[in-house]
Amino acid sequence: MVLNPAEINSKLERILPTVQKPARYVGGELNQVVKDWATIETHVALVFPDIYDIGMSNLGLAILYELINDRPDALAERVYNPWIDMEAELRQACIPLYSLETRHPVSTFDIVGFTLPYETLYTNMLNALDLAGIPLLSSDRQETDPLIIAGGQTAYNPEPVYKFVDAFVIGEGEQVIQEVIDTYQGWKRSSSPRQQLLSSLASISGVYVPSLYQVYYHQDGTVERLAKLDEQASYPVLKRILPVLPPPPTRFIVPNIETVHNRIPIEIMRGCTRGCRFCHAGMVSRPVRERSVSAILEAIDQALKFTGIEEIGLLSLSSSDYTHISELVQAITDKYCGKNLSISLPSLRIESFSVDLMDSLRDSRHGGFTLAPEAATEHMRNIINKPLSTEQLLETAHQIYARGWTTIKLYFMIGHPEETLDDVSAIVDLCKLVLAEGHKTIGHRAKLNIGVSTFIPKPHTPFQWIACDTVEKIQAKQTLLKQGLRHKDIKLTWTNPEVTMLEAWLSRGDRRMADVVYQAWINGARFDAWQEQFNFTAWTKAFESAQLDPSFYTHRPRNQDEVFPWDHISTGVRKKFLFQELQLSQASLTRMDCRKQCIACGILPTYANHRRDHPGSSWMCPEVKSPTRNISAGTSADIIPSSGVG
């Protein structure tokens, strides 16, 4: 028998004083919404499968929480994974995973929604289901079990967790969550079998029900095709987008303890037109839609009143590209100057204008100034389509040091396609130039932090055909950096190559990977995103048990015509366009920002109806009659190289 909230409470009383940060497990914060369980028809648990401290900063769930709780016939409550110490206590006391608001066991909710913004949460999702006492496999669930749905960035390749989730929501969740709830209510009233619910969900645009498809493989292990098993299922499943961004949420729950981002997140725009070829977010979140300055100011004002939080984060994939960025920053400065409010403006372009922007947000000078050149040579920057001259970087660095920042953070990525050790050495040289600029400008106060991540060829990007570097190759490159950047004023951080491998397997995996995820969890893997909990052996053993070769997923270049495990999920960007981008990359040609001219990625024809229904709205796609190609910075502007890959 499942415990009721009162029983859970009384058991918790003795446990909470003994665990780290018990406030993670009690809820009750300002602005949490508690509705009457007994009179509300549909109960939704929103789960971020990591600890409270991480999950509370997630904007996606905050949006859904507000939207669902605004419905009179539904409620949403929060659930996070317990940390290791609390998990042991819960298991020992036989307390099931419960919601923070009313302490109801997760298994008593109607719908359980997981957000999966990164792949290293997969084993935590399994752990959460297990702690909740819900069958891990979709096929084992009965009519009385909750419906398990999932969404977030990783859902664009849902296959590695296809067995565990009843339905995935692909793309933006604001509208589709309402349709899922409506459909669920219709099914529940009809008392039909669970299969009927899954079939009805599949007819919602943007919903992917994995059990309604069958995958066929070639002899060599690559995907041959995917077949529908149900008429209702769509093929491909096209991501959902909002034609116009609604006002952002503002009544954020105010955590009583410190969380990873102690700030109010205000999304100023969605999508990015830069077209960096390695960037998953930039490819899958098109088109660019902006909020108006007045909508943003209004939201900031409300959120400050509701929360009292000291920092605002203006979120987007590329702040500098927000059309009215100067106007917005000016307005915020005028309004909140002297109010002890910090404003963070992430993802700025490398140019002195960015320094002007940050300079006018006077209070935000604590911490360093972050720039992401990603690569150090012109050739590499052309390959990844992030053109930038070294002079421009150095000039920007000079400006930053000159205007009072003592620390610059530079982000690079190693393992780009075609990268050689010389390209990696160039990172060392460039960092030294930047630091020299700092020393010249402000003397020995100048510091440099370097973060070097490792490239993973992500699905739905132009590099999805490319192979990853091997662990040995990554290590060789990292050694070069570690040796070259040994300096008292430089702090270097890098990613464990084994973590990179895991992320690559999980992001590029097919359905067979689900057995690996399951086995890894059995082997003890959880909190894979936590350095001290990371258990690589659990994963390599899981591959052995599943009789799969990990290098099949990571170290194999793909043929142009290979069917990818994620091909039935459509982001609206055409595969053909992605392949053209790959070819341009191989010819070292860049593409201009597509705000200026359409490069025919496929978004406009795919979502033509949205744009027609919302004329003059804030899409940043230029008006087009017929799609044209435009290639900049190249000598052979219209020639697409025809050589294949792999």
Partner 1 sequence: MTMRIRITFSKAGPMQYVGHLDLHRSWERTFRRSCLPLEYSQGFHPQPHLNLACALPVGFTSQCELLDAWLEQDMSLIEVREALQSTLPPGLEILNLENIDLHAPALQTQVLSAVYSIHFLDDVPDLSDRLQRIISAEHLHRLRRNKPYDLRLLIEQACLVPPDVAGRSSMRVQLAARDGATGRPEELLAEMGLKFQDSHVHREALKLSRN
Query: What's the closest the beta carbon of residue 447 comes to partner 1, in angstroms?
Result: 16
Give the whole-angstrom CA distance, residue 616 versus residue 12: 55
- Site membership for partner 1, residue 637 (CB under 8 A): no
Query: What's the closest the beta carbon of residue 368 comes to partner 1, in angstroms?
Result: 14
- Site membership for partner 1, residue 260 (CB under 8 A): no
The position carrying tokens 């999508």 is 271
Give the residue with the Cβ less far from partner 1, 13 or 638. 13
- Site membership for partner 1, residue 258 (CB under 8 A): yes
**CA-based angle 413:414:417, to the nearest 5?**
110
Give the whole-angstrom CA distance, residue 638 versus residue 629: 7
Query: What's the closest the beta carbon of residue 68 comes to partner 1, in angstroms?
Result: 21
Give the residue with the Cβ less far from partner 1, 400 or 603. 400
What tokens does 221 get?
């292990």
Give the residue with the Cβ less far from partner 1, 255 or 497. 255
Query: 145 with 139: CB under 8 angstroms?
Result: no
Interface segment toward partner 1; rule CB under 8 A; list 13-21, 425-433, 519-527, 546-554: 13-21
- Site membership for partner 1, residue 16 (CB under 8 A): yes
C-alpha dihedral sign at 176, 179, 181, 187: negative
- Site membership for partner 1, residue 220 (CB under 8 A): no
Give the residue with the Cβ less far from partner 1, 257 or 260. 257
Q: Can you tell me whether residue 137 is helix, strand or coil?
A: coil
- Site membership for partner 1, residue 306 (CB under 8 A): yes
- Site membership for partner 1, residue 27 (CB under 8 A): yes
Q: Which of 403, 520, 419 is nearest to 126 (CA)?
A: 520
Interface segment toward partner 1; rule CB under 8 A; list 133-141, 171-179, 223-231, 299-307: 299-307
Q: Contacts with partner 1 in 578-607 (CB under 8 A)?
A: none
Binders of partner 1: how many residues, by CB under 8 A? 28
- Site membership for partner 1, residue 33 (CB under 8 A): no
What tokens does 612 get?
């027609």
Taking CB under 8 A as the criterion, the residue among 6, 13, 36, 488 binding partner 1 is 13
- Site membership for partner 1, residue 433 (CB under 8 A): no
Q: Where do the H-state alpha helices sit in 374-496?
A: 378-384, 390-402, 421-442, 471-484
Consecutive H or E run containing 208:
strand 207-208
Q: Is 254 exposed, middle or buried (0-12, 13-18, 19+ CB in 10 A)?
A: middle
Give the residue with the Cβ less far from partner 1, 27 or 206. 27
Q: Where are the beta strands (DSSP E) in 251-384?
A: 264-267, 269-270, 289-290, 311-315, 342-344, 369-374
- Site membership for partner 1, residue 305 (CB under 8 A): yes
Interface segment toward partner 1; rule CB under 8 A; list 16-24, 46-54, 417-425, 593-601: 16-24
- Site membership for partner 1, residue 367 (CB under 8 A): no
HEC string of 356-382 equals HHHHHCHHHHCCCEEEEEECCCHHHHH
Taking CB under 8 A as the criterion, the residue among 174, 310, 498, 593 binding partner 1 is 310
For partner 1, the binding residues (CB under 8 A) are 13-18, 21-23, 26-30, 254, 256-258, 304-310, 340, 365-366
